[in-house]
């Protein structure tokens, strides 16, 4: 790959920052997202790159935008570079600068909702391709760059719906990259799996009556028992994490009370309390035993206590991070050549990668952001300009390496050359 002159690099950097800020200035924010400005912006980017673009609407009003860079050997399984267009709500009064202004301060920090999560990555994909094209690089494999809706609300009308379509199957995906997370130190996290989401409503029915009485079998007593058990378990997981510096939060199970429903007024003992609990299970958990533990707590709490599951996911096979996975070998080769320190780990929350892995496609979550405070979903979310531009160079190398893998590396097919 030929090197760029200083003037060429400066021109490309200026264009990349301009495109990043323009994308950030589109308020594709929940709860009522209008995706059309994003679609128009991305169609304009496709035109500037000379790439075909397809807009797919699996769910009305929830477009999926696919830009395609066709490889020299298009029959090989392709590479998917995925990102999401939507961002979480903002509390504008808590921000130093308007959250969709993409203001740049005197340190080069770009402030906007989506600066880290994850409009940066979507633009970095495109700008890396722009630089590869500028240097007349062509890849063996076809690269698809996808921009999906509704990831921040679970991806139900986005990636989850998309993977069931012929449009997705026809992309012939062999491997995918998706979002990761910023790192406050010099390491770069690479996420090869995600914890399993169990979200539950624990119903605690009981004897209602006057608030001045000492009735037995009340809803509050049962709720108290359940909460004590949950928070005892939570303290155990906190201790496990604290006692082992090699663990990350993705290696333990979290339980958090997120809602309490029940009661009508101060002097009435209600007939039921409902506790909503968000639980993220470590991939090492014995799910059957965990469910038995929960059921035991409910039984011991008192008569009639039961669980209604909002989400109860099964374990999704992690993507391998060893020499048996040639995509990992290529990814690691690229990052080694760049001098990056990687930390493979389990993601704390949920991303669109889980849907991709669930259908047998290996996927990594990676955002090239280090030495940066984790500000996804926070007030004053920002990304430094230099960090953003450096990430484009990283994706240049990564996309070239994985895009030039030859041979078939899907499922049981093991023919491969680097």
pLDDT single digits (tens) 52-83? 999 999 999 999 999 999 999 999 999 999 99
**Residue 84 · residue 157 · CB < 8 Å:** no
CATH 3.40.630.10 residue ranges of the chain are: 6-194+318-417
Q: What does DSSP assign to residue 251?
A: G
CATH topology assigned to domain 196-282+284-312? Alpha-Beta Plaits (3.30.70)
**Residue 383 · residue 373 · CB < 8 Å:** no
* Catalytic, out of 13, 86, 117, 127: 86
Q: Is 86 a catalytic site residue?
A: yes
Q: Is 150 a catalytic site residue?
A: no
C-alpha 102/C-alpha 154 separation (Å) is: 26
- DSSP β-ladder status, 272-281 and 196-205: antiparallel
Residues 159, 160, 164, 168, Cα dihedral to 10°: 10
* Catalytic, out of 151, 251, 352, 381: 151
β-bridge partners, 79: 143, 175
**Residue 144 · residue 408 · CB < 8 Å:** no
Q: pTM score, two decimals?
A: 0.91
CA–chain centroid gap for 329, Å, is 22
**Residue 75 · residue 83 · CB < 8 Å:** no
Q: Quick one: average pLDDT of 120-144?
A: 98
**Residue 22 · residue 112 · CB < 8 Å:** no
pLDDT tier, 3 (very low <50, low <70, confident <90, very high otherwise): confident
CATH 3.30.70.360 residue ranges of the chain are: 196-282+284-312
CATH topology assigned to domain 6-194+318-417? Aminopeptidase (3.40.630)
Report phi then psi at 194, rounded to 5: -135, 150
Instruction: Determine how many CB atoms are found less than 10 A away from the CB of residue 331.
Output: 22
Instruction: Determine how many CB atoms are found less than 10 A away from the CB of residue 68.
Output: 18
Tokens 């006692």 appear where?
Answer: 243
β-bridge partners, 173: 78
Helix 385-403 to helix 326-338 angle (10° resolution) is: 140
* pLDDT tens digits, 211-245: 999 999 999 999 999 999 999 999 999 999 999 99
pLDDT tier, 411 (very low <50, low <70, confident <90, very high otherwise): very low
* pLDDT tens digits, 180-205: 999 999 999 999 999 999 999 999 99
């Amino acid at each position: 790959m030929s090197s760029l002159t200083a003037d060429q690099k400066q021109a490309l950097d200026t264009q990349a920052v301009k495109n990043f800020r323009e994308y950030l200035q589109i308020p594709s924010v929940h709860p009522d997202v209008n995706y059309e400005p994003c679609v128009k912006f991305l169609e304009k980017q496709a035109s500037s790159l000379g790439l075909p673009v397809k807009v797919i609407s699996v769910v009305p009003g929830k477009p999926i935008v696919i830009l395609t860079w066709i490889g020299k050997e298009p029959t090989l399984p392709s590479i998917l570079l995925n990102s999401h267009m939507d961002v979480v709500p903002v509390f504008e009064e808590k921000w130093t600068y308007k959250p969709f202004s993409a203001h740049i301060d005197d340190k080069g920090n770009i402030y906007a909702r989506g600066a880290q999560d994850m409009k940066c990555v979507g633009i970095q994909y495109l700008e890396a391709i722009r630089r590869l094209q500028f240097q007349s690089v062509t890849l063996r494999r076809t690269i698809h760059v996808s921009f999906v809706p509704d990831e921040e609300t679970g991806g139900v009308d986005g990636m989850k719906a998309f993977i069931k379509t012929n449009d997705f199957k026809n992309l012939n995906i062999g491997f995918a990259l998706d979002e990761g997370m910023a790192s406050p130190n010099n390491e770069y996290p690479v996420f090869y799996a995600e914890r399993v989401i169990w979200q539950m409503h624990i119903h605690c029915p009981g004897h209602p009556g006057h608030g001045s009485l000492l009735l037995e079998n009340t809803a509050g007593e049962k709720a108290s028992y359940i909460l004590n058990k949950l928070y005892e378990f939570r303290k155990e997981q906190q201790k496990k994490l604290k006692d082992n510096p090699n663990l990350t939060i993705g290696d333990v199970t979290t339980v958090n009370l997120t809602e309490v429903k029940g009661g009508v007024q101060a002097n009435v003992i209600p007939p039921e309390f409902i506790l909503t609990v968000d639980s993220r299970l470590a991939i090492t958990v014995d799910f059957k035993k965990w469910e038995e533990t929960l059921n035991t707590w409910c039984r011991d709490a008192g008569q009639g206590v039961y669980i209604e599951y909002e989400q109860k996911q099964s374990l999704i096979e992690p993507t391998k991070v060893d020499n048996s996975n040639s995509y990992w070998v290529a990814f690691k080769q690229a990052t080694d050549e760049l001098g990056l320190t990687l930390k493979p780990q389990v993601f704390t929350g949920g991303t669109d990668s889980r849907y991709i892995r669930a259908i047998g496609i290996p996927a990594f979550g990676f955002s090239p952001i280090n030495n940066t405070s984790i500000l996804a979903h926070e007030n004053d979310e920002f990304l430094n300009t230099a960090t953003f531009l450096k990430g484009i160079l990283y994706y240049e190398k990564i996309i070239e390496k994985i895009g030039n893998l030859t041979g078939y590396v899907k499922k049981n097919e093991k023919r491969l050359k680097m």
